[in-house]
Amino acid sequence: MHDEPLNQPAQPSPSGGDVAPRPPDHDKVQKHDSADSADSAFESERSENVEADSSQPSVAGVSTERVSAAALPAEAQSVKPMPSEGAARGPLDVAAVADDQLHPLDPRFVPVERISGLITMTILCVPSFFVLLVASFFGWPSRWWIVAGWSGWLVITAWLLWLTLHFTVLSFRHTHYRVNDIGIEIRKGVLWRSIATVPRSRIQHTDVGQGPIQRRFGISKLTVYTAGTVHSSVELSGLEYQRALLIRDYLISSEESDGV
Amino acid sequence: MTEAAPITNPPPDSAAEPRWQRLHPTSLVFNAVSRLWALIVPLVLFFVFKPGGTWELWLGGIVAIGMFFEAWMYFTTKYRLAERELIVHRGLLFRSERHVPYSRIQNVDLIQNPLHRLFRVAVTRIETAGGNEPEAMLKVLSLDAVEAMRARIFQRRSSDAFASDQPHGVTAHAESEDATGSDALHDTSAREILVLSTGELVRLGLTSVRGFALVAAFVALLWQFDIFEQIVDRFDEISERVTEAWRLLNGTAAIGIWVYIVLVVVALTIFLLLSIVWAILKFHGFRLVRSGDDLRFTCGLLSRFSATVPRNRIQLISVRESFVHRWMRRITIRVETAGGAGDNDDESAHFSQKWIMPIVRRDAVDSLLRELHDHATVSHIDWQPLARGAARRIVKKRLILTVVLCAPLAFLLHWWTFALAALLVPLVIWHGVLSARRMGYAHTSWGMIFRSGVLIRSISMTMFNKMQVVTARTTPFDRRHRMARLFVDTAGAGPAEHSIAVPYLPAETVESLRLELSAKAQQSRWRI
């Protein structure tokens, strides 16, 4: 369990093939390089400028660029992160997270999901295994029940194992997000896919949460709450903790100007 | 309101700080009565059986405690209309002081039962956007106090909106409105929009879903009488009995069938009458007026209900036209406001939203919609169709569903299954094609419109500044056909009602719509 995060060579495998997720610190390093001395007094102005800059292409010529991204989400994420004019303060700037690029989750999402999946599996499968063992030892209630029980157990265990080992990779590969001047866009789902766009001005409040395993791996879950009914909350699990905080700060930074 | 605030920095209102106000004295009586009503069963049992011993003491004690509690609540509940918020203070030992900013208040609803009306008081319900229950429930306030409160809340709020950059820029104008707005229903600025005559109420009764619900109840009742089992049993015998059908019709078994038919007709008539009675009880004297940017309506024969719905709080407008509506050339308009969502048990919670315009003439619908939103309309809309092949997908899906659902019937009906299929399949295809043709969306300069439904047609519309989350979804089947579905979430889109969820669109359309709608939503401000 403790070996997992150190097991770096295993990390690229979840995304596989052409996806090739960046190591989590990739963005951080880039932005650190591009950082210049930021005056905190101009902080807000600059972030607005960045918004305005990125808004022009996105409102006018949106469709073609992003439609292709939608059609081929896997390729779309190979684009380079962040234009360098977004001045950074510290390793990552609040405005800098709004780079209008599709990002994959942090690759540590996979081991975290696998570990929690394995824990669930253990809780479900081990006791039932022993119950079945005892039952077959005493031959109760009947032979057919025992055969059915064992085969059911095998099927369910295999299914859970598949979910834990393979499906986590699939869902990792199919989850992307984009933060831009509009707000946050979250793409999810392996079979039933959805792309949810939450405009920044509609966000009521946000949560960044970490479970114990997530905390150990340094990733977190971002939850965005809106006044909507069906999508009153939109979740994105598997963000690097610092990044989640920055996204949160960026998303709620506009709220006071809305005056809701 | 249109005058610019002349005073930039008026002294705070503290000089005229409104005093704490109590509920109306009759609350004591009403609350005591409702408390007694809760104890009605033990009380009745007591007076019927008159058990001896300490029962009297126990019961008297319980009643006394209840009365004491009510009195306590009455004497410790007070409210104050402060500068920018309503403050409700409760309790003596465990105190609570709730501050409800005027800018968050969605609507102020009044409920008056006949006794309340006699004393000119009302139960006042104040709703905000969040939460399932009313933010504050004041039982009971005198009508004058309510009107003062209403005027204060809504005037203050609109002046807040007007002068949001000047937090204290509340003008003297608003104050004068307070004084004159004491009976705003008869205000000179209030304009009558919709009044329902008894004839309209009869139509409303006929169109109400309640009628269908009652029919469903009736079917359930029939089920109790095993009539369906008998019908199913007879299917086997029908082939044998076809030859002796005439004799059956004249024989005793036929009398049984006729009795059932007569029963059905009588019951249907009764239920329709009940629906009409319900509509008259609920909506007698329906009157919708618009004063400024607020819509207010009052209705009810015995219990009177009155509500204020601010126009800019309307999140979604839904126009509904069932086949009964169409036959009478009428239409129902509903709105969704944020607040009170999820509280489905309480009939009055959604009352103002569901029944803002319970039944209106088909030809007046556009002018009435304009009262709800400046651009809202149902005519001259440039409807965009679904993706090509949508009809085929709908039909295919429904046929599969029909087969799956009807397959078990094959064991019951034997070769009659084919007759059933011959009847159902064309129906399903016809309905599927029609519903695909009927579905459509329109993307206008102010929002998004979606229509659907064949027998019960609905058109829903929402504005850019009311859109919350824009979602594009695909199923594996969608992707195979290069389609996607678009869903626009709004605050207070009741899950059971019609919402803006457009299926079977070309994938590229959905993608560009998603981007455009979310960009426009972001640019516009949402003020609930």
Chain segment B161-207, per-residue pLDDT in tens: 443 333 333 333 333 333 333 344 444 567 888 999 999 999 988 88
Task: Give the pLDDT of residue B152.
Answer: 80
With a pLDDT cut of 70, the percent of chain B lying above it is 73
- B321 and B457 in contact (C-beta within 8 Å)? yes
The residue type found at A34 is S
Of residues A59, A197, A258, nearest to B469 (C-beta): A197
**DSSP conformation class of B23:** P
Q: Give tens-digit pLDDT for B82-130.
A: 877 888 888 767 777 888 888 777 777 888 888 888 888 888 888 776 5
Instruction: Give which of A202, A203, A225, A231 to mutate to test B binding, by max B Cβ within 10 Å.
Output: A202
Strand order, beta sheet including B105-112: B136-142, B121-128, B105-112, B304-310, B294-299, B287-291, B191-195
Q: What is the mean pLDDT of residues B510-514?
A: 94
CB contact under 8 A, B519 and A58: yes
The length of chain A in residues reads 260
Question: Token digits for B208?
Answer: 């109400």
CB pairs under 8 A between A and B: 122
pLDDT value for A99: 86
What is the band of A212 on the pLDDT scale with cuts at 50, 70, 90? very high
Nearest to B430 by CA among B481, B387, B391: B391
pLDDT at B226: 57
- What does the DSSP 8-state code read for residue B17? P
Name the burial class of residue B122, with classes exposed (0-12), middle (13-18) and buried (19+) by CB atoms within 10 angstroms of its CB. buried
Q: Which region among A81-95, A105-119, B119-133 has the lowest average model confidence (pLDDT)? A: A81-95
Q: Do residue A70 and residue B511 have CB atoms under 8 angstroms apart?
A: yes
Of the listed ranges B51-60, B106-115, B461-470, the least confidently predicted one is B51-60
Tokens standing for B165? 């950059």
B344 interface with A at CB cutoff 8 Å: no
Pairwise pLDDT comparison (B132 vs B268), residue with the higher score: B268
A59–B519 C-beta distance less than 8 A: yes
Q: Which residues of B touch A181 (CB under 8 A)?
A: 522
| B527 interfaces chain A, CB cutoff of 8 Å | yes
The chain A residues in contact with chain B (CB within 8 A) are 58-59, 62-63, 66-67, 70-71, 181-183, 185, 191-202, 226-231, 234, 258-260
Structure tokens at B232: 């199913």
Of A196, A201, A258, the CB nearest to B471: A196
Show the 3-state SS of chain A: CCCHHHCHHHCHHHHCCCCCCCCCCHHHHHHHHCCCCCCHHHHHHHHHHHHHHHHHHHHHCHHHHHHHHHHCHHHHCCCCCCCCCCCCCCCCCCHHHCCCCCEECCCCHHHHHHHHHHHHHHHHHHHHHHHHHHHHHHCCCCHHHHHHHHHHHHHHHHHHHHHHHHHHHHHHHHCEEEECCCEEEEEECCCCEEEEEEEHHHEEEEEEECCHHHHHHCEEEEEEEECCCCCCEEEEEEEEHHHHHHHHHHHHHCHHHHCC
Interface test with A, best of B518, B524, B525, B526 (most A CBs within 10 A): B518
User: What average pLDDT does this structure show over A68-86?
Assistant: 39
Of the candidates B129, B164, B469, the beta carbon closest to that of A231 is on B469
Predicted TM-score (pTM) of this structure: 0.70
B519 CB within 8 Å of a chain A CB: yes
Neighbours of B245 (CB within 10 A): 11
Our measurement of the distance from residue B403's CA atom to the centroid of its chain's CA atoms, rounded to an integer in Å, reads 35
Instruction: Check residue B91 and give left, alpha or beta (phi > 0: left; psi -120 to 50: alpha).
Output: left
- The residues pairing with B458 across neighbouring beta strands, listed in sequence order, are B320, B452
Q: What is the largest CA-CA distance in chain A?
A: 78
Q: Which one-letter amino acid corresponds to residue B195?
A: V
The pLDDT of residue A32 is above 60:
no
If you measure CA to CA, which chain A residue comes closest to B478?
Answer: A192
CB contact under 8 A, A202 and B476: no
Determine, for residues A197 and B518 on separate chains, whether the beta-carbon distance falls below 8 Å. yes
Confidence of residue B213 (pLDDT cuts 50, 70, 90): low
Locate the chain B residue with the closest alpha carbon to A60: B516
Of residues B380 and B337, which shows the higher confidence score? Answer: B380
Of residues B469, B475, B314, the one with CA closest to residue A233: B469
ipTM: 0.70
Residues B423-443 have pLDDT tens digits of: 889 999 999 999 999 999 999
Cβ within 8 Å, pair A231-B511: no
- State residue B288's pLDDT score: 92
